[in-house]
Structure 1
């Protein structure tokens, strides 16, 4: 059996919310929330696919399209069961269902899950609306929340702007942050320094780990939620549980290589390096595809980035790879405006913490760091910039 596809412009989250409600009942079309003008990477003969009226399997309720931070396009097919299992696990971990503020794009899995959790809780979500993220606007919208339990989901760059506003004297933003019973932060690693700053002003922060393939965050503050199971296999993290996606739409080969059956369960093999300790706590080291060989030594760029972001003026910096005539590849720090520590200082800190090969070759200052719609840094664009600047 199949069902029809409905494409909705994610710039109108109220329409996404209505279409998602219909999709979750089983009677509506499968929903594809898509950013206006965005390309889903469908190939030369079908650039934007699926389209309105196309057919997909009956159990597919939501299709999340993403090029990811590395530029590889995916169309993740999620069932209603997976989405609702994720929402139930989230409510259990947070202490109950409540009202949500949507401040993320609705075509991003974390944004779509804000709407799913609202539907599961039978509460009306409060929508931030279009436009650049502004802390004062966020505070104004947050005042519309009326439920006893209030939540939102952010990426680190949004949280950083909110905390900057509080530290610059905004009582409205401070009050808004303290109104939330939980502020989920995911999409990329949250630096310990930013978390400390947020908690110092009274924000209740919950770091999340997950992906579109797991219907969003399935690990909260290092602990798998609901019946999710996480294990380490050959250095990579694998996830099992009812939150897993059906696979990749129109890509059986990728589905087979990423999802597999073992030990009587279905597992998703993530692209992340990490480990699970004896108590079940998950630690993520970084992307397996974000490793370079510099001067014959393996360097994990995510680890370099974590250390760099602890330094004054570099909290929002991004570390990418660039070619080097002698070393093969080297880490390069990209920072947005302002003045940070001197390169010599950064190199000394990194060499001491992670070894000489991890010391950045240079610091590139840009007016604005290129980002994907999800808020994640566009590492493909930043790597190209680093190579261009060297050339």
Structure 2
């Protein structure tokens, strides 16, 4: 049985290892971040000294933004299926710019798409504008997280406009940010997916070719298709819990609006506070509509009195009273945050997701 190879999580290191597994000449690998903490997490989840499950080409470690990181097994077929379906949706193969870390699925799949398309990826340099200018492809694509899009809308607008499509993933894209991008003439396509689905598998609410979605219990999103992972590394129990008859049972809730998937939030984004069910993502979306709020996350914090205390972490000026009044204008007063923590910026993981664990550690 094959063993897993650890490779440097640099663009060149991952690109070379990917080329090998895609053409059949290489061996399965796990990309390792440069930082010591990230490297330790990957080595623990990937377990390179243990025999590797059949059919695996790459092991990616989830970000662990809301729990312990897991080793996700992705096959060569799943990687290629994701890249091919993406190109089909966007209008054909093209050249890709890599503005994110290649040891997470979003960055790795930019490199996969480049290899499948037979184009040379361009690595992000000192500025987006300079890097975009170096691209020569007839069709030009990139992918980034919402935080990057928001920043580049202010600093590199012409560069954003030069892309035929920009896939936005890694975290939910707020409605105000979608509107800003559209009004600026930027073709930003919100994507839904995760490491287990081989990156985004639903673009602008519509599944890619080869992907099917259903809504199960409590509006939980179920996904089936050719881009799905094979299982979790050395964890058959968890694999059996989330994969059943080809369907992947996600931790997200959604609804279908005019035939398009709208992600409501995670299953655990509903907390009971003072006997009232509060949907944290709905409160968060309302806060992001405030003209003086640049970014926000709303979390439930264990509390002896309330069961869960709703806390808003806000990048902006509004204080507690203003936040509570703003939320209460459109939502029940009982949903309004009981605490507000104002920050210069939200702490982020290397994957582009908010570091929820770090936020919670500061208020418990």
**Aligned match of 2:120:** 124
Aligned equivalents of 1:187, 1:147: Cα separation in 2: 25
Q: Does 1:92 align with 2:75?
A: no
> Structure 1 269/40 Cα, relative in aligned 2: closer, same or farther at 3 Å?
farther
Aligned equivalents of 1:19, 1:346: Cα separation in 2: 49
The secondary structure found in structure 2 opposite 1:250 is coil
Aligned equivalents of 1:140, 1:178: Cα separation in 2: 14
CA RMSD in angstroms, aligned pairs only: 1.8
Q: Does 1:3 align with 2:28?
A: no
Q: Give 1:244 shift.
A: 0.7
Q: How does 1:161-176 map to 2 (within 5 A)?
A: 161-165=151-155, 173-176=156-159
1:202-223 CA distances to partner (integer Å, 9 max, x unpaired)?
2101000001111010000000
Aligned equivalents of 2:21, 2:181: Cα separation in 1: 36
**Larger CA deviation: 93-102 vs 301-310:** 301-310
5+ residue gaps, structure 1: 130-135, 166-172
> Structure 1 157/116 Cα, relative in aligned 2: closer, same or farther at 3 Å?
same
> Structure 1 67/186 Cα, relative in aligned 2: closer, same or farther at 3 Å?
closer
**Larger CA deviation: 359-368 vs 197-206:** 359-368
**Aligned match of 1:133:** none
Aligned equivalents of 2:58, 2:46: Cα separation in 1: 14
The secondary structure found in structure 2 opposite 1:24 is helix
1:274 and 1:282 in contact (8 A); partners too: yes
Q: How does 1:41-56 map to 2 (within 5 A)?
A: 41=41, 47=44, 49-51=46-48, 55-56=51-52
Q: Does 1:75 align with 2:71?
A: yes
The secondary structure found in structure 2 opposite 1:357 is helix
Q: Does 1:342 align with 2:319?
A: yes
Q: Does 1:352 align with 2:329?
A: yes
The secondary structure found in structure 2 opposite 1:3 is coil
Q: Give 1:58 shift.
A: 4.1
Q: How does 1:311-326 map to 2 (within 5 A)?
A: 311-326=290-305
The secondary structure found in structure 1 opposite 2:137 is coil
Q: How does 1:1-391 map to 2 (within 5 A)?
A: 2-10=1-9, 12-36=10-34, 37=36, 38-39=38-39, 41=41, 47=44, 49-51=46-48, 55-128=51-124, 137-165=127-155, 173-234=156-217, 235-261=219-245, 266-277=246-257, 280-336=259-315, 339-387=316-364
**Larger CA deviation: 229-238 vs 65-74:** 65-74
May I ask how many residue pairs the two structures share in their alignment?
361
TM-score (norm 2): 0.94
1:250-286 CA distances to partner (integer Å, 9 max, x unpaired)?
101100001001xxxx100000011235x53111100
TM-score (norm 1): 0.88
Aligned equivalents of 2:302, 2:230: Cα separation in 1: 38
1:188-215 CA distances to partner (integer Å, 9 max, x unpaired)?
1111111111222221010000011110
Aligned equivalents of 1:359, 1:290: Cα separation in 2: 15
Q: Give 1:158 shift.
A: 0.6
1:280-314 CA distances to partner (integer Å, 9 max, x unpaired)?
31111000122211111111212211111111232
Aligned equivalents of 1:39, 1:380: Cα separation in 2: 19
1:142-181 CA distances to partner (integer Å, 9 max, x unpaired)?
111110100110101111111122xxxxxxx222111100
Q: Give 1:340 shift.
A: 2.1
Aligned equivalents of 1:368, 1:203: Cα separation in 2: 24
